[in-house]
């Protein structure tokens, strides 16, 4: 997997870049942003990372803590001579503070590095590799291709991204190249046990109760093809959780044996429902997400729709049933699945 020279050349010209990820960043997005920012800062570049208040879940807060980087302020955006956007399929999904407005780019160059199939190539320079295991793997390759050092801290951030987005190296995107990248990161000092503890063995009581709720609310359609679960705004509030705490709980309905499609519906605020879709046994889900105005990977996608939870469930289940009945939904075993 060769890194385009234009990517490295453009990044090396930046002196005050801001690194941006998607709203409600997951471990891959955070690890990629923070590792890139930390690497550039270690080289004397005044890089800043966009982490608006309240966007990082408690469970993933260890990643910014490990990185030791402050979040970008409005002044950093105003002074930036370019932007690096990672793990984000659309410009509209970039996580920037609301006071900056929609014109935060102001015509400045943008480097877009991502692995989502639905990426709209919104950058001035784009490197989108849907078959990559994670954006963290791509950032790792940029760092190596540029000849920059991998410190233990940077290696740990990237390893967390690769490990999380492959669900512990269990998805079809876990190629030999991805495993070799992970091995190199471990040799560079990534602490496998510490990453694993924070990602999988570090739930607060509220987060544990959220898992219990998702298990309790999981249902399977009569044909046994779709497993889905829900969390209403009232339920999230009662548990002391918020939209920022929703990440990989879709793996609960996904774990039901024999299903082809898993869906998690969560109402982060009243009347606005997030839909996480995961395909199993070759089932594609990206067409469903795109029809809902979302995006993602072939077998891992999502959308946010302006509808109350109950209405969203009925609408999406009906659409999913039609998709699975009328469209070819089998892909090659080696195709991009994503997380």
275 membership: H or E segment, kind and range: strand 272-279
First-to-final CA distance of the chain: 20
Q: How far apart are CA 106 and CA 93, in angstroms?
A: 17
The mean of the pLDDT values for the chain is 94
CA–CA separation, 294 and 338 (whole Å): 15
Phi and psi at residue 198, to the nearest 5°: -70, -35
The proportion of the chain whose per-residue pLDDT surpasses 70, expressed as a percent, equals 96
Per-residue pLDDT of 209-245, as tens digits, reads 999 999 999 999 999 999 999 999 999 999 999 888 9
- What one-character DSSP code corresponds to residue 148? -
Number of H helices, E strands in the chain: 13, 11
Instruction: Please tell me the distance from the alpha carbon of residue 198 to that of residue 190, in angstroms, as a whole number.
Output: 13
The CA-CA-CA angle for residues 168, 166, 39, to 5°, reads: 100
What confidence score (pLDDT) does residue 277 get? Answer: 97
Predicted confidence (pLDDT) per residue in 18-28, tens digit? 999 999 999 99
Distance CA 323, CA 315 (A): 12
pLDDT at 260: 95
Band (pLDDT 50/70/90 cuts) for residue 333 is very low
- Place 326 in a pLDDT band, splitting at 50, 70 and 90: confident
Q: Quick check: 330 and 279 in contact, CB under 8 A? A: no
Q: The whole model's pTM is what?
A: 0.89
117: pLDDT strictly greater than 50: yes
């Amino acid at each position: 997997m060769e890194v385009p020279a234009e990517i490295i050349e453009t990044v090396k010209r930046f002196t005050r870049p801001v690194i941006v990820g998607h709203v409600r960043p997951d471990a891959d997005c955070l690890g990629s942003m923070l590792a890139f920012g930390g690497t550039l800062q270690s080289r004397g570049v005044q890089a800043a990372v966009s982490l608006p208040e309240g966007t990082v879940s408690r469970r993933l807060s260890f990643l910014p803590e490990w990185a030791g980087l402050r979040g970008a302020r409005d002044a950093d955006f105003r002074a930036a001579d370019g932007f690096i956007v990672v793990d984000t399929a659309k410009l509209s999904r970039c996580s920037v503070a609301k006071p900056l407005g929609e014109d935060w780019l102001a015509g400045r160059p943008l480097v877009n590095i991502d692995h989502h199939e639905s990426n709209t190539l919104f950058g001035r320079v784009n490197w989108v590799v849907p078959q990559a295991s994670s954006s963290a793997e791509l950032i790792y390759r940029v760092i190596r291709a540029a000849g920059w050092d991998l410190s233990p801290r940077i290696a740990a951030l990237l390893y967390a991204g690769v490990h999380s987005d492959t669900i512990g190296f269990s998805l079809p995107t876990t190629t030999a190249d991805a495993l070799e990248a992970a091995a190199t990161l471990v040799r560079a000092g990534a602490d496998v046990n510490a990453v694993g503890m924070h990602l999988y063995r570090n739930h607060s009581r509220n987060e544990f109760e959220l898992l219990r709720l998702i298990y309790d609310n999981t249902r399977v359609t009569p044909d046994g093809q779709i497993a889905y679960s829900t969390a209403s705004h009232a339920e999230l509030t009662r548990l002391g959780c918020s939209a920022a705490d929703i990440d990989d709980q879709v793996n609960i309905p996904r774990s039901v044996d024999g299903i082809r499609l898993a869906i998690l519906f969560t109402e982060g605020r009243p009347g606005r429902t997030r839909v996480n879709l995961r395909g199993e046994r070759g089932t594609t889900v990206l067409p469903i997400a795109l029809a809902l105005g979302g995006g993602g990977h072939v077998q891992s996608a999502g959308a946010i729709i302006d509808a109350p939870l109950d209405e969203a469930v009925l609408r999406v289940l009906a659409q999913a049933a039609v998709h699975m009945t009328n469209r070819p939904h089998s892909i090659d075993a080696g195709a991009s699945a994503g997380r």
